[in-house]
Chain A
């Protein structure tokens, strides 16, 4: 029998960095620094001594060459004691959620009492890579002993060897089915018959809701301002992404990007490549008492599920189905639903399949969970406006969800995302702030 999960898992603080499109304000902020300051800030507030964090877990997909284990670096940069264990997890777009799920398991099983988990991604800094031919050439030159041998090795050089491999482009292409992420969205748009206008309307909604949330200061509690700029003497405190002038007409003028001749997916109705970080402090019941901490939420449970890589966008359908079954809960119980907006087409397809038994059945889900009401769905906008820093979004959704549940004094919320490679992840949390 599987080991019994014994205790409740509390979220006592949850924060994130402002998010900015790649190449913009956060481009020079190296990945660990997108997370470390959040950790320092939260632990300062909670008054937890620097040597009493059991584990620091961070999601990250870019794996910067300089920081192969970003999680541990974040622990140290945050000022935690050198004895603190730290590691990095990678589940593509859901890396941050994977970190959350590991924190959940470790605290629920009683193995850990205080865990910081989150995600960081600097997509601006993803490298260009030398081709295999060029790398081999370098190796041969290095191995060559005499000047003659070196010259001989160098003679193998041909100019095309210099054309770089763009790491981010490779990363966004599925190695199994060969489609890039945009193409998987095109596929869903075709199969679900989702029009260009529907997608653009969805994208426009995201921008307007995000802007409204900004104006009303709804992100103020969750965003910790960050020092930016070459000299680190500026402060960024809001997301750089939501566009005030966004209109459906304007979005309609953009050209399809992935299927240039007849497609419907544009960079306007897809999420932008983004930099950002997020972090959450989890505690056991015992730790709550020990540090006299007030929880803001409780993690109910999570679920991950796989599906065909070429329809990876439907991951949230399977993940939400899974987590509802696991917890004996229903869609109606959810006061808020966050589904990551990788692509408008993909998010729309998830909504459609959730309420349609036949569509759901195509993915092996034998139940229609119901309509995802507009007023519960991505209420402060989503990744199309705010961006999708791949390693962070999983935990970023939980941060935003926790704060919005708290603001509304609502009860349950689910956060879910599709995962490149053909998976979905979902987590349910319960607001504890009355």
Chain B
């Protein structure tokens, strides 16, 4: 008998079960059809087990073993019980694998995550390739889910509770070597030898535990220690997620309550929890983001001819914080960047920034000292234009001044090749205007990174009227290659993210002047899920920078983008935020928060106003939604998901809310419009004037995601 998705073959009394059979996608997933086939195969193994010496699970694909359950399948679950039922069916199949009387060996090369890891956990032996492509993990928590195919039950049994909790609660991936160290994999081999070695495990008895491991298990394997471990884990989760995320807490509940349970009752609580989380708003939002990110991996811009050029060598102009950060990114990605500045001090600043970024990887052991030396040294510091004709991608990060930037580009164009991509990391200047400085503007675009470069995943690619599709596509693919998230944005004041951020920061000033305290303001935003309140964020950005950008936006967008004078007053006082150790808050020499700025009240009218948290949230988020609707109406970006992607990866808009516009859709656009109208009459007619676009949507009973 043959199957469509999974191969089944018996050779020399060994059954070979192969995933990724007849599959032309790069990743094999457990969809409905493969689950049916897997069930049949496992039942058949039970029948034929007396004639077999063992079973080997393997994959026909080079870089994927099994990438878990099909997320579309999960997405199709409409009710809690339907989802719980789905999980249960998977659990049953894996139980049947676990119950096989003959040896079962999973020979894993490539991605083996989620349901894949859960499947191999039900095998008696797991062997892994030592290839970089091999990855185990239970990333369900990142989608707001609990592993539903017995992962939370079997993982602690295999690798111990502390390590299992770490994997399950963070959703992180481990490679073959690490899996072996954890005890998840029994052995690792070069990928070419994996299948050859697999049958030898039919007869191999498990290695005896070392004394150290025995002691470790003894210490962790009793009721009291487990209680303590769970308590620690819970504290950890709460401090990391601020309690916003349900899934990790749910996982802890299931695992802790299941300590004393047998397999079937444990698994039914697991599937129950899966059902609950699966239909919950949070998981839906997180899955929405997952799909957005997947979609963003395909270039969405105007059609480009031919394949994109390989951008092998990079260059950065201007070696400040941003320039150094970009040089780091290029060096880390093997582009041996040239870093040019006007003076040696500037170059040192850039080197320092890059070194600082690498130091984090060194500290987390993601990089060896040798790799650091190689990559950091691959940055060529220079004051001239030597070697510019080798550059494929140049990113300008000089001072934010149109005349200077234009001059720099006009000059630079003389030294680079005709096909070199030239980009500007401007955050506030018109890319259209800048493009006029170039003889060949078609190879030019904005490439807006966020600070700090190594932490912020978003890159805005800014278009202008003369840019070629080939340039956009090449830049888009490059941003993906350096593991950042690109969004294509039309030129306009503040582009996408800073423009929507504008009301967030502006309203802060007005609210403070109305008498709301810094603490109430920031807390309200933190409680919404924002990573930083507006006051803290302004301190990070630099109050003076904020004022400068606010002027540009006000000029470009009119009175709705008006800022209060409050920030300017702070600048006059030289309270510039973190950089001057004092802004809305105080900071010590290392830049660590050191309490409130008590003198701030001297700049305020002196009245104090208690405003409800919801009111404060409405005051800041409503104008953001309104501005986003204007952005969509102007075609700055072409769809709601781009706005949401930009805000999640650009300013850390809370992922569990699915994005600003997803949130607005969920709240109901009619309610949003009513609230805007109310604030327009109560607070300010310009700042809260609902856009026609939003009104139209409400009129036509449409949502942002239905445009």
A residues engaging B (CB < 8 A)? Answer: 30, 33, 36-37, 40-41, 44-45, 47, 77, 79, 225, 227, 231-235, 237
Contact = CB atoms under 8 A, between A and B. Distances in A.
Contacts of A37: 377, 380
B310 to A, nearest CB: 13
Contact of B373 (A40, A79, A232): A232
B221 to A, nearest CB: 33
Nearest to A230: B355
A235 to B, nearest CB: 6
A235 B374 CA distance: 16
B376 A237 contact: no
A47 B376 contact: no
Point out which of A40, A41, A47, A231 has the most chain B C-beta atoms below 10 A from its C-beta.
A231
B387 A232 contact: no
Nearest to B380: A41
Interface string B344-381: 10011001101110010000000000001110111111
A45 B385 CA distance: 9
Contacts of A30: 373
Contacts of A44: 338, 380, 386-387, 390
A237 B382 CA distance: 11
B502 interface: no
A30 B374 CA distance: 11
A389 B538 CA distance: 52
Interface in B437-474: none
B341 to A, nearest CB: 11
A79 B352 CA distance: 23
Contacts of B359: 231
25 contacts: A33-B377, A40-B336, A40-B378, A40-B380, A41-B386, A44-B390, A45-B387, A79-B336, A79-B378, A225-B344, A227-B351, A227-B377, A231-B355, A232-B351, A232-B355, A232-B373, A232-B376, A233-B348, A233-B354, A233-B355, A234-B348, A235-B344, A235-B351, A235-B381, A237-B344
A283 B451 CA distance: 45
- From B348, B355, B356, B390, name the one whose CB has the most chain A CB atoms within 10 angstroms: B390
Interface residue tally of chain B, by bracket? 20 to 34
Interface string B381-396: 1000011011000000
A41 B338 CA distance: 9
A45 B355 contact: no
Contacts of B354: 233
A235 B379 CA distance: 12
Among B336, B351, B359, residue most surrounded by chain A Cβ atoms (within 10 Å): B351
Contacts of A237: 344
A30 B354 CA distance: 20
Contacts of B386: 41, 44-45
Q: From B351, B376, B377, B386, name the one whose CB has the most chain A CB atoms within 10 angstroms.
A: B377
A227 B373 CA distance: 10
Which of A79, A225, A233 has the most C-beta atoms of chain B within 10 angstroms of its own C-beta? A233
Contacts of B387: 41, 44-45
A397 to B, nearest CB: 24
A40 B356 CA distance: 24
A156 to B, nearest CB: 31
A44 B315 CA distance: 12
A41 B359 CA distance: 25
Given A79-B378, A227-B381, A235 B348 contact: yes
B315 to A, nearest CB: 10
A41 B390 CA distance: 11
Interface string B19-41: 00000000000000000000000
Given A41-B380, A79-B378, A234-B348, 17 more contacts: A33-B377, A36-B377, A37-B380, A40-B336, A40-B378, A41-B387, A44-B338, A47-B389, A77-B377, A227-B351, A227-B381, A231-B355, A233-B348, A233-B354, A234-B351, A235-B351, A235-B381
Contacts of A36: 377
Contacts of B352: 231, 233
B432 to A, nearest CB: 32
Contacts of A232: 351, 355, 372-373, 376-377
Contacts of B390: 44, 47
A415 to B, nearest CB: 25
Nearest to A33: B377
A434 to B, nearest CB: 22
A47 B381 CA distance: 18
B491 to A, nearest CB: 33
A234 B387 CA distance: 22
A235 B380 CA distance: 11
A40 B335 CA distance: 12
Contact of B381 (A33, A45, A79, A225): A225
B209 to A, nearest CB: 23
Contacts of A233: 348, 351-352, 354-356
Nearest to B383: A225
Interchain residue pairs A-B with the least CB separation, the first 3: A44-B387, A233-B355, A233-B352
A18 to B, nearest CB: 13
B558 to A, nearest CB: 45
A73 to B, nearest CB: 11
Contacts of B336: 40, 79
B374 A77 contact: yes
Contacts of A77: 374, 377
A41 B352 CA distance: 21
A126 to B, nearest CB: 19
B379 A227 contact: yes
Nearest to B362: A231
A227 to B, nearest CB: 6
Nearest to B352: A233
A233 B349 CA distance: 8
Contacts of B380: 37, 40-41, 44
B347 A33 contact: no
B387 to A, nearest CB: 3
A231 B386 CA distance: 25
Contacts of B372: 232
A44 to B, nearest CB: 3
A33 B344 contact: no
Residue from the set B347, B352, B372, B387 with the largest chain A CB neighbour count within 10 Å: B387
Contacts of B356: 233
A237 B389 CA distance: 24
A231 B359 CA distance: 8
A41 B388 CA distance: 11
B334 to A, nearest CB: 9
B463 to A, nearest CB: 31
